[in-house]
Structure formats: structure tokens, C-alpha cells
Amino acid sequence: MKHYISVLMIGACLMSTASHAKSLCTFEHIATIPLTETGYTISLQAHLEGHPLSLIVDTGSEGSLLTPEALIRLRLTPDNSFKTLISGSDGRGQIVPNVTIKTLEMGNLLLSNLSFPVGALPGAPLIRPAISGLIGMNLLGNYDLDFDLPHHQLTLYHIQLGSMLCKRPPAWQESEMSGANKSNKQNSGKIKTLHTQVIARRYMIPFILDGHKGTALLDSGAHSHIVSLSFAHKLGLNEERLAQDPGGYSASIATPEKRYYWHQFSELKIGDEVRKKPTLTVAPLKEHADMLLGADWFQTHRVWISKATERVYIHP
């Protein structure tokens, strides 16, 4: 009789714990947004106060931005209460005005009462609707982000992990592992969890380049892998050596033209992935990172950037 009662008590405790955990757990799908890839530029279509436009998806940017052309074309209202210091990847900055945004729609997600800085966006591809700015981590960083470039979509989740019993990201742990011809063990080996450092809502992961350890910023707004000039110097590549490599000049937000080089390294390792003899861009960077992982990296991986766990998950 005592044994029966104890079992009932355990069952009641489990039910209570599960119920309590459920109240602490959230795994909510917010929106699935189609993505457009133009070369190595990743953008999404949105409606700003009802007007269609395209925005570059930029996980490497702390903030969002609208172009002066968008300000004029959409007749937006200046926000005289704010000004913003924007800076490019070389650290140089300038103070720019802001505009008030009443509504911004991206898929099923509706944001309201926003303030966007206004600045030039050089090098944006010509597509329709026109690229009129970028959306950065001040907005995207409020969610878990599932980048699925093979299917040309970005999915946003609101996740709260208030208990060890909560369902944890990524969502593809269930969907990707349920194939009839693949075992859970085989598929679980494909999903990699990368050690992550989060600074200003931007996510950084470790890498090893030619035997030297560094930190890479996940930057979907960059076209490609970009190794900082200072990190290249640590590898023994001085200006004279880099001058022998092909390259050119480019400009970015709040940044004048700068020289870049294409250099062939011996080996790049990120997590368990190893690339032999990769040719990577070398350019001046003033980020907290030694390398930018740009759109070319996102295009070859399924990437989940998790606000809830402050981790990055990849599925090659």
C-alpha cells in the first residue's frame, strides 16, 4: 500500500514539474522570410510603411540602416530626437541623422515605432525592389535565427529556456533526424555546436588558420571570408608579400576605399571542417574579430544563431 502511494506521489511530482517547466519554456515560430541571393549579397523583401523594398541581412552589423535614396523616395519623417554614430569595418565613423519608421513588415513579423539611421550603402546590387538599407542585430538579435540558404529562407524563433526540461534549439534536431533511412546517431553527428562569444548581439566563433588561432565574426553582410590585415601580419604576411597577390579596392559603410588582397593560405579549420589551400580576402578590419565569415560561408551551411543558448549550430 505504501509502495502504491509513493508511486502516485512521484507521478504527481513529475506532473507538477512538467507543468511548471512548460510555463517556463517557449519555442515559438515567429516568421519565415524568403531570402534573395544576388551573387554574395543576402537580402530580404520587406514593406516599410506599406512600401516594398529590399534590405540586406547583416548579422555583422550592430544596427540597421536606411539609404538617403529611401528617405527621399518613401518621404520618411526625420527623427530629430536621435542621431547615430555609424562606422565601417575599418573603425572609422560618422554621425548621421535618423528617421522614424511607423511600421516594418518582414514576412509575418510586424515591427513598429522604430528609428533608423540614414547612411550610404555602397556596392549594393541592383535588384527589384531596390535595396534600400540593411537590417542588423539590433532587430534580428532579438530572435533565434535559422539561416537556410539552400531553401532561400530565414526563420525567426522566440525561445525561452527556463528549465532543463525545455525543448532546445535547433529545431532541425527533430526534423532533420527523422528520415526513414538514417539513424538518429548518424544524423546527430552532422549537427555541430560551435563555442561562441557574443559581443553587442554579434556572434563570434573560433577558427585556426595556418596553425594560428583566431576569432571569426558571423557577418552575413560581408560577401566572403575576410581575414584582418593585422592577423595576416601575425602569420608572417607583411605588406611586401601581400603586394604580390591579386586584389583591388573596395568601400563599405562610412569607409573610404581600402586595399584588399586575395591570398592563398595552407589550411583553414572551423569546428571539425577543414579547407585545404583556401584563397581568402585580406583587408584592414577594426572589428573585435580576426576574420569575417561572410555570405559565401552562409551559402554552404545551414546556420542556427541562437539567442537563447548563445551558441551557433551548423549543419553542413
pLDDT digit string (tens) for 106-125?
A: 999 999 999 999 999 888 88
Could you tell me if residue 100 is inside a domain?
A: yes
Residues 197 and 109 in one domain: no
Residue 174 domain-assigned?
A: no
The verdict on 198 and 311 lying in the same domain is yes
Please give the pLDDT value at position 33.
98
- 283-302 burial, b for 16+ CB within 10 Å, e for fewer? bbbebebbbbbbbebbeebb
Whether residue 262 sits in one domain with residue 202:
yes
Per-residue confidence (pLDDT) for residue 17, from 0 to 100: 46
* Distance from C-alpha of 252 to C-alpha of 60, rounded to nearest angstrom: 13
Q: Is 44 left (phi over 0), alpha (psi -120 to 50) or beta?
A: beta
Residue range(s) defining the domain that contains residue 269: 192-315
Q: Whole-angstrom Cα distance, residue 196 to residue 307?
A: 11
Residue 23 pLDDT exceeds 80: no
Average pLDDT, the chain: 87
CA–CA gap between residue 222 and residue 285 (Å, rounded): 12
Quick one: average pLDDT of 178-182?
43
Asked whether the beta carbons of 196 and 313 are under 8 A apart, the reply is no
Answer yes or no: is 271 within a domain.
Answer: yes
Higher pLDDT, 181 or 202: 202
Domain count, the chain: 2
> Is residue 184 predicted with pLDDT exceeding 80?
no
What percent of the chain has pLDDT above 90?
Answer: 72
Instruction: Tell me what percent of the residues of the chain surpass a pLDDT of 70.
Output: 84
> Above 60 in pLDDT, residue 104?
yes
Domain end position, chosen among 111, 146, 181: 146
| Cis status, amide bond into 206, omega within 30 of 0 | no
pLDDT grade for 280, boundaries at 50, 70 and 90: very high
- Is the residue at 310 inside a domain? yes
- DSSP class of residue 238 equals -
Q: How confident is the model at residue 102 (pLDDT cuts 50, 70, 90)?
A: very high
Question: Phi/psi at 227 (nearest 5 deg)?
Answer: -90, 135
Tens of pLDDT, residue by residue over 33-74, are 999 999 999 999 999 999 999 999 999 999 999 999 999 999
- Say if residue 8's pLDDT is above 70: no
Q: For the segment 215-268, what is each residue's pLDDT rounded down to a tens digit?
A: 999 999 999 999 999 999 999 999 899 999 998 887 665 556 788 999 999 999
69 assigned to some structural domain? yes
**3-state secondary structure at position 231:** helix
Q: Which residues does 217 contact at the CB level (< 8 Å), separation at least 6?
A: 60, 202, 203, 204, 287, 288, 289, 291, 292, 293
Domain CATH for 108: 2.40.70.10
What per-residue confidence (pLDDT) applies to 286? Answer: 79
pTM across the whole model: 0.85
Residues 311, 214, single domain; the answer is: yes
138 vs 23, more confident: 138
Contact by Cβ (8 Å): 115, 98: yes
Does some domain include residue 176?
Answer: no
Any domain includes 179: no
Select from 197, 199, 228, 223 the least CA-distant residue to 212.
Answer: 228
**pLDDT grade, residue 90 (50/70/90)?**
low
Q: Would you say 122 and 252 are in contact if contact means Cβ atoms under 8 Å apart?
A: yes
Looking at residues 270-276, what average pLDDT do you find? 95
Would you place residue 197 in the very low, low, confident or very high pLDDT band (cuts 50, 70, 90)?
Answer: very high
Give the residue from 146, 164, 184 where a domain finishes.
Answer: 146
Is a pLDDT exceeding 70 seen at residue 188?
no
Going by C-alpha positions, the residue among 290, 201, 222, 253 that lies closest to residue 85 is 253
The answer to the question of residue 208 being in a domain is yes
Q: Of the candidates 89, 122, 146, which is a domain's last residue?
A: 146
Judged against a pLDDT cut of 80, whether residue 205 lies above it is answered with yes
pLDDT at 150 over 70: yes
Q: Give strand pairing partners of 36.
A: 43
